[in-house]
Structure 1
Amino acid sequence: MNKGNTMDKAPLFKKKPAARSMALFCVFALLFLLCISSIAIGTRDVSLQEVLGALQGQIDTMGEASVSMRIPRTLLAVIAGSALGLSGAIMQSITRNPLADPGILGVNVGAAFFVVIGLAWFGINQQQSYVWLAILGAGITAIFVYVISSLGYGKSTPLKFALAGAATSAALSSFTVAVVLPRNDIAGGVNSWQIGGVGGATFGSIQLVLPFLVLGILLSALVARKLNSLALGDDIAAGLGENVAWVRIIAWLSAVLLCGATTAICGPIGFVGLVVPHLCRLLVGVDNRWLLIFSALTGACLLLTADVLGRIISRPSELPVGVVTAFVGAPFFIWIARRQRVKEL
């Protein structure tokens, strides 16, 4: 086994429940501080009094109005980051592939493609419909990538899986451009949405996707322990009494719900699901009972950080969160790929 594989490194808090609990507390504290920063930092400077007033529902001043708009944005960043981090951890656990990620495997792009098709060809303009289209697109794309990577000589390998996902993602991105190009009436909005961001969030839009995200989280909790058995290999997992096929189906459904619903409201945001699980494995190891919890919380921290940085870097305008995560995730992807032995992939 390659010693450079981040999925095999000894975790910092291995077999230390007290230390893991302390790490969990630290991540919660960091998330809380980032939420406060997200509410307070923006293109308009606000005072502590205005922040407190906005949290109490007051919008009498421009500062309080600005803060009141940042509250649902902050909540959406937390929810979306958690969903993407969790879905990435699930995909990597199912496939035993360190390169698995909703963006790299084309799942997010597939979700976006179906939304664009519904908007451009069928005139669907209701957000509730977008959620169903995105989940359908994410599911079909995930199945397609898995089938393509399984074709040819030998079984599906991490490299074949990543290449199939990258090719599918590129093809669907091109198809999306072809669909949008002749439609000047929707081109601007679609292109802005495809970059990926949490700006313009409302409590109403969050409520639309919340049931799907909650269902995805519950399903992931249901299979967390079972994913540990799958990590030993399908034959051993079956010998331990696990129904391997059903575990995979439930886990994939969980990941599809999480990334599909997130894409519907935020657009395709990449690399969060790649970066976060690797960082969390360095902390708590490969036990999915801990890994999934930490991936959700750390994903929220990462997306909040990216959103706050996007507001600071390009003041007085804003840099979309999808661009910031790409700056972080692309080098990390290259590093992960280089740390693997290509022949073993």
Structure 2
Amino acid sequence: MIIISIILLIACMIASLSLGARVVSFQELMDGLFNHNNESYGANVVRKRFSRTIFSLLCGAALGVAGALMQAVTRNPLADPSILGVNTGAALFVVCGIAFLNISTANQYIWLALIGSELTAAFVFGIGSMGRGGATPIKLVLAGAATTAALSSLVTTVMIPNSYAMDQFRFWQLGSVGSATWSSIATFFPFLIIGILIALITAPALNALALGDDAATGLGVRPGFLRLGAAIGGVILCGAATALAGPIGFIGLLSTHAMRLILGPDLRFLIPMSAITGAIILTMSDVIGRLVASPGELEVGVVTAFIGAPILIILAKKSKVRSL
């Protein structure tokens, strides 16, 4: 499975570099990648697409791992990072930054989005932890859904009277990797590493958590502390990707669920494979968006919604799984 995934990943990279409004030949692809003295139009197109391709792969990997973490935290195989209000919290802080602070750089976006994501996730986790039984999957889902609805209303409230914020935000809200630069990649990369490290470190304990809180406690796991740590890792990954690419849906949901059907529930294998699958899905969706709307471009967030929704329904009907 790993070999097949790596082959698909390489194929996606080649397709992303070669296809679009301007299809480049194999020779132009090689010149763009390895012959820096070649300044032909085709070679320059490849070089400009290279940063976009790398950014797409990294964002897809981040969203895939975030999906695996959120599904493990909530013990719900159909959960998405947005289950804790991460996307909406990031969106609220970004639109407030655009409207009131005139932010415009990737570094400003990412810090505001992370703050919004962390505060929202902490709020949802706190609400979901109240009452008997602590932070149960059902209470987390309900708290996340209610918080998302409330924050979405606030986003609209901030945008409507501010035309500048609305113009800036509507493009970001669609979700796109087209504006990727090496600077934004450098800004995003440390957060990706931190989030993946948290995911890998917590994976064995999250496997125990899937047995239930009582069983996990008997194995020496602290469920509340573990959920908080894993949720922070998911928030970092999803918040950073959302800040720079916009709220792209279905990647974390689809990649992790598909890998679980193939590999089983062991997160030690599921997390790295979800990263690879997420990168494949997002990169291919970006290529499809370029080809379908050529010579223009269809934003990748729209493509993932069209592709992800029907596939998710099919997977959900086949799996018939209610909880991990």
Given the two structures, how large is their TM-score scaled by the length of structure 2?
A: 0.91
Counterpart residue number, 1:13: none
1:291 aligns with 2:270: yes
Q: How does 1:172-321 map to 2 (within 5 A)?
A: 172-321=151-300
Quote the Cα distance in structure 1 between the aligned partners of 2:103 and 2:90.
Answer: 15
1:35 aligns with 2:13: yes
Cα deviation digits, residues 52-96 of structure 1 (max 9, x gap): 111123562222222111101100110000000100011101110
Give the AA of the match of 2:3. Answer: F
Q: CA RMSD in A?
A: 2.4
1:26 aligns with 2:4: yes
TM-superposed CA distance for 1:121, in Å, is: 1.6
Given the two structures, how large is their TM-score scaled by the length of structure 1?
A: 0.86
Q: How does 1:137-156 map to 2 (within 5 A)?
A: 137-149=116-128
Quote the Cα distance in structure 2 between the aligned partners of 1:314 and 1:257.
Answer: 32
Query: Is the deviation greater in 134-143 or in 162-171?
Result: 162-171
1:121 aligns with 2:95: no
Give the AA of the match of 1:251. Answer: A
Contact 1:145 1:161 in 2 (8 A): yes
Contact 2:135 2:224 in 1 (8 A): no
Quote the Cα distance in structure 2 between the aligned partners of 1:311 and 1:251.
Answer: 35
Q: How does 1:39-188 map to 2 (within 5 A)?
A: 39-56=17-34, 57-58=36-37, 60-149=39-128, 158=137, 161-188=140-167
Provide closer, same or farther for how the CA distance between residues 108 and 327 of structure 1 changes in structure 2, counting only shifts above 3 A: same
TM-superposed CA distance for 1:150, in Å, is: 5.5
Query: Is the deviation greater in 310-319 or in 116-125?
Result: 116-125
TM-superposed CA distance for 1:246, in Å, is: 2.9
Contact 2:249 2:301 in 1 (8 A): yes
Q: In proportion to residue count, which structure has more helix? A: 2
Provide closer, same or farther for how the CA distance between residues 337 and 195 of structure 1 changes in structure 2, counting only shifts above 3 A: same
Provide closer, same or farther for how the CA distance between residues 214 and 187 of structure 1 changes in structure 2, counting only shifts above 3 A: same
Give the AA of the match of 1:269. Answer: I
Question: Which stretches in structure 2 are left out of the alignment for 5+ residues?
Answer: none
Quote the Cα distance in structure 1 between the aligned partners of 2:204 and 2:58.
Answer: 23
Give the AA of the match of 1:99. Answer: L
Quote the Cα distance in structure 1 between the aligned partners of 2:59 and 2:118.
Answer: 18
- Number of aligned pairs? 322
Query: Is the deviation greater in 155-164 or in 26-35?
Result: 155-164
TM-superposed CA distance for 1:231, in Å, is: 1.0
Quote the Cα distance in structure 2 between the aligned partners of 1:253 and 1:282.
Answer: 26
Percent identical: 47
TM-superposed CA distance for 1:145, in Å, is: 3.0
TM-superposed CA distance for 1:149, in Å, is: 4.6
Quote the Cα distance in structure 2 between the aligned partners of 1:334 and 1:157.
Answer: 25
Give the AA of the match of 2:206. Answer: L
Cα deviation digits, residues 217-261 of structure 1 (max 9, x gap): 111111111111111122222221223333222211110110011
Give the AA of the match of 1:27. Answer: S
Give the AA of the match of 1:63. Answer: G
Question: Which stretches in structure 1 are left out of the alignment for 5+ residues?
Answer: 1-22
Quote the Cα distance in structure 1 between the aligned partners of 2:123 and 2:188.
Answer: 24
Quote the Cα distance in structure 2 between the aligned partners of 1:121 and 1:77.
Answer: 29
